Amino acid sequence: MGLRGMPGGSYRVLSDGDIQKIHDCSMKLFEEVGIAVHNKRALELFHQHGAEVDWKRRVFFASRDWVMSKVGMAPSSITLCGREEAQDLVIEDTKTYLGTGGTALNVLDMETHKRRPSTLQDIRDAARLVDHLENIHFFVLPLYPHDVPEEKVDVNRFWAGLSHTSKHVMGGVYTKEGVQDTIRMAEVIAGGREALRKRPFISMITCVVSPLKIDDTYGELLMTVAEQGIPLAIPTEPLAGSTSPVTLAGNVAQLNTEALAGLILAQLVNPGTPVLYGSVATINDMRQMAYLSGAVEMGLINAAAAQMAQFYRVPFYATAGMSDSKLPDIQSGYERAMTAVMVALAGANYIHDAAGLLEFAMTVSFEQYVIDNDIIGMVMRAVKGIDVNDETLAFDVMKKVGPGGNFMSEKHTVRYMRKEFFYPCLADRNNRDAWEAMGARDACRRARKEARRILATHKPLPVADEAVKEIRSSIDGIVV
């Protein structure tokens, strides 16, 4: 198993003074501007718990003491489980994990190399591929299945993921009924209601809308998940220059306010609900007013948001590791590596979107998953840092070898050669003669070959037959 859950935090884009200023700005937004809540039940809940409500405008206001008292109700540590314990993720402090994200509408077909609408089988294949790739730590459902009726998308997406990977499965949700069916299905797999709450191997994503608004649909979905006690990520996506101030500091202050508003609503519904403070914030391309997923500023914003989450001592759901390129090419490599390493070094906990996504998060590439397995491995090696002690300083070894010698046959070299270095699976480190003898393939073609091999051979941990039978007979519309 690759490096996972290493403590980050060595990169600090904000000073302590900056963090305090952003916090103060957020508190002023709660006090003087307010949060619009377009869900009646949610707005009544804020009022019942002491927030001031402007019913005509459907906006609530709150003092900083009120806000901080509610934030303090959220757990500071969450364990997101896999179907097997080896895949568990402990989300706390600056522990860092990276995985997939979504929800894309297309895939790059490995046979035609053309973009096409995604299907349920593509979700199964993505899950099986990720299940094998050791540096990808979790599976956020990455695709929308166009071949499934809209009202049955939620439960079928989750089933496709759960039945093809034992890693933790998180996904966005679309309907209240879909949330309830998905939780019921997961309870069957877990062996009962309490068993799922004890080891939650699913979690769900809802959203706060920028700027400063909880809408009716996502507000209802958020409350439905929170009522069930299932872990919940509540990201907000302010785009600098359109749905937030163009300045990065203003963007972070706004996302911080929105993320706290969502987190507080979950705590009002069900105190102690495991919630990940979330950010998928980025910038607009001001020349075309288009969303960007590969911008270096996205890395800066999410690194700053990691520090804000650490300030409040709440787990953090971040975005990084994407690209706006249409192919797994050079642009894809440098854009995704730049943001992934920045946000991981900042100690973001649950960095989704870090594998497989291209083209403004609209397209998934199976080759890119294999490439990202190497990139994430390198990122985690950077997070691990340099261990400095008497043994690693190796003075005695240097004294023994002396000037002009070499270290290749030393026991110290053998002892550390595997754990000190990261060994990529895909990167080519052969000389030119060997590379040409193996077909002179570039990284994308090598990744395609490896993806095909994995999909042809890898068998994930199956769901128990009895659970499959019960799910098939009890959940209407599921494709098993």
Chain segment 381-424, per-residue pLDDT in tens: 999 999 999 999 999 999 999 999 999 999 999 999 999 999 99
pLDDT in tens, 26-35: 999 999 999 9
Tens digit of each residue's pLDDT, the chain (480 residues):
789 999 999 999 999 999 999 999 999 999 999 999 999 999 999 999 999 999 999 999 999 999 999 999 999 999 999 999 999 999 999 999 999 998 999 999 999 999 999 999 999 999 999 999 999 999 999 999 999 999 999 999 999 999 999 999 999 999 999 999 999 999 999 999 999 999 999 999 999 999 999 999 999 999 999 999 999 999 999 999 999 999 999 999 999 999 999 999 999 999 999 999 999 999 999 999 999 999 999 999 999 999 999 999 999 999 999 999 999 999 999 999 999 999 999 999 999 999 999 999 999 999 999 999 999 999 999 999 999 999 999 999 999 999 999 999 999 999 999 999 999 999 999 999 999 999 999 999 999 999 999 999 999 999 999 999 999 999 999 998
Q: Do 129 and 369 touch, CB atoms closer than 8 A?
A: yes
Distance CA 214, CA 43 (A): 9
- What does the pLDDT read at residue 310? 98
- What does the pLDDT read at residue 1? 74
Q: Which CA distances in Å does 421 have to 343, 377, 415?
A: 21, 11, 12
What is the three-state SS of the chain? CCCCCEECCCCCCCCHHHHHHHHHHHHHHHHHHCEEECCHHHHHHHHHCCCEEECCCCEEECCHHHHHHHHCCCCCCEEECCCCHHHCEEECCCEEEECCCCCECEEECCCCCCEEECCHHHHHHHHHHHHHCCCCCCEECCECCCCCCHHHHHHHHHHHHHCCCCCCEEEECCCHHHHHHHHHHHHHHHCCHHHHHHCCCEEEECCEECCCEECHHHHHHHHHHHHHCCCEEEEECCEECCCECCCHHHHHHHHHHHHHHHHHHHHHHCCCCCEEEEECCEEEECCCCEECCCCHHHHHHHHHHHHHHHHHCCCEEEECCCCCCCCCCHHHHHHHHHHHHHHHHCCCCEEECCCCEECCCCEEEHHHHHHHHHHHHHHHHHHHCCCCCHHHHCHHHHHHHCCCCCCCCCHHHHHHHHHHCCCCCCCCCCCHHHHHHCCCCCHHHHHHHHHHHHHHHCCCCCCCHHHHHHHHHHCCCCCC
| Closest CA relative to residue 70, chosen from 255, 271, 282, 218 | 271
- What does the pLDDT read at residue 399? 98
- What does the pLDDT read at residue 247? 98
Terminal-residue alpha carbon distance, the chain? 30
Burial (CB < 10 A; 0-12, 13-18, 19+), residue 476, is exposed
Instruction: Name residue 208's beta-bridge partners.
Output: 236
| Closest CA relative to residue 23, chosen from 309, 264, 232, 236 | 309
pLDDT in tens, 126-182: 999 999 999 999 999 999 999 999 999 999 999 999 999 999 999 999 999 999 999
pTM over 0.85: yes
pLDDT in tens, 422-455: 999 999 999 999 999 999 999 999 999 999 999 9
User: Virtual CA dihedral for 100, 232, 145, 134, nearest 10 degrees?
Assistant: 30
- What does the pLDDT read at residue 2? 84
